[in-house]
Amino acid sequence: VSVQSRTSYSLDWETEGSSCDSTGLLHFALPHQVEVMNGATTTQSKGAIVLHSSTRGDMVAQVTTSGSWLLTEDEADEEVDFYPSNKPSADVVSQVNLLPTLQSDINSDWSLDTGSWYYNGKAYQKYASLCLMAADSSVVGDDTTLLRTCLSKLEALVGPFVNNTMSVPLVYETSYKGIVTSQIFTANDVNVEFGNGVYNDHHYHYGYWVTASAILKKLDPSWPGMAQLETMVWTLLRDVVNPSSDDQYFPKFRHFSWYLGHSYSHGVTPMADGKDEESTSEDVNFFYGMKLWGQVSGNKAVEDLGSLMLRLNARTVRTYFLMTSDNTIHPPQFVPNHVTGIFFDNKADYATWFGPEKYCIHGIQMIPVSPINGLARTVTFVKEEWDDILSKEAIVTGGDTTNAWLSLLLVNQAVINQADALTKLATATMDDGLTRSWALYNAASPQPTMYVEAEIGAGGEISVTPR
């Protein structure tokens, strides 16, 4: 792969033989590539050669004498940022009692060292998000007291991370060259920490640390521990998404496939149905954090690469993982599920690794709650998923609000029914990676149109449809 710019990249093949020079390279493009490829042959093109993939729809043959495909990922008008594009107004903040809720969340007991890099990371981003709200004048006015309290607690909490003195420190593993939990060696068990030691889920686990650290660097760039924090974050980024072939300590793009447009969850362990991806939203969260970290670090190359990978990743999520009723990638009898569940190379399994409940299968695609979720979770998708499946589940229709998965579903519901979601979020039990104030803040933010579809009519007129 060659990254051309913030919005374009090319897939390049080395070819041999006179026919490659005279006739060109024949290779098959996936649906998400055909959409954004310069001069692509489509399924509707005369003489198109179509190949059926295992799980990603129809592949279309492309012939190029250059041996390269140029693909573009245009940026939407809304800038990817720490805050929602449309932050809640002061009136809405007052109506949902956001300030006292935020004060309660910040003044509550915080803890980080659970022995799990995944759950610690979720907690770190959860607490960092509180500081974002404490820096929002529409929530706190001109008072900076709450922000100072929040940052003080966050910086004290993250100290063991920057020093790598958590109860289960990270170590460098030399066989596959990466950063893993030391617990795999102390427990002598490859399955601990979701298989982190065998390179499972690093983009999930470390994405929380990168995103939360970007928030901290934005809000308090002169913190005395910042240099050590930067060292840790750059190391985690290199582990997951090192872009350089010259880096002797980490492989290039460990988890991410530029051809498929998304990451793989499984690392070095073989899988009968091929590698897989489950939580698309945590995949998106990593590239969101990467983009933000590049932004606050003043490293435009990293910011641009993060932005490109974020938008490519979101496109593949919309194309293959989150299914609207017009989806033609998957069999018609499977599309009404609206999410694929565990997406393997050779099958899509409407399930999770940890539970059969539908709220789990759908909810795992919603974490963490973040302003970036709308880039992959379009309004059309959210409405169809809610109307067809989630609104009918007992977790939603019943009166019990103690199941923490409900909080995630309600923030998602706010995209299409804000008033109802805000009312229920006031009392619902929160997910372990979510605070009530952050849930209310995001639910109270009007959903922007982050993704649109455009059609050109016979007369040249252009119609734009929000998705």
Q: Is 349 a catalytic residue?
A: no
Q: Which residues pair with 63 in a beta bridge?
A: 26
Q: What is the amino acid identity at position 244?
A: S
Q: What is the amino acid identity at position 310?
A: L
Of 136, 193, 239, 282, the catalytic one is 282
For 194, the token pair is 């979701």
Of 201, 276, 283, 384, the catalytic one is 201
Per the listing, tokens 């009404």 go with 336
For 11, the token pair is 């897939």
Answer whether 278's CB lies under 8 Å from 342's CB. yes
Answer whether 170's CB lies under 8 Å from 182's CB. yes
Q: Could you give the dihedral angle defined by the CA atoms of residues 342, 346, 347 and 352, in that order, rounded to the nearest 10 degrees?
A: -20
Q: What is the amino acid identity at position 247?
A: D
Answer whether 106's CB lies under 8 Å from 150's CB. yes
- Taking alpha carbons only, the member of 126, 264, 128, 125 closest to residue 207 is 125
For the chain, the first-to-last Cα distance in angstroms comes to: 30
For 35, the token pair is 């959409």
**DSSP classification of residue 83:** S
How far is the C-alpha of 410 from the C-alpha of 425, rounded, in Å? 7
Q: Is 278 a catalytic residue?
A: yes
Rg (CA), the chain: 22
CB atoms within 10 A of CB 88: 24
CB atoms within 10 A of CB 457: 8
Q: Is 201 a catalytic residue?
A: yes
Of 155, 193, 278, 385, the catalytic one is 278
Active site residues: 201, 278, 282
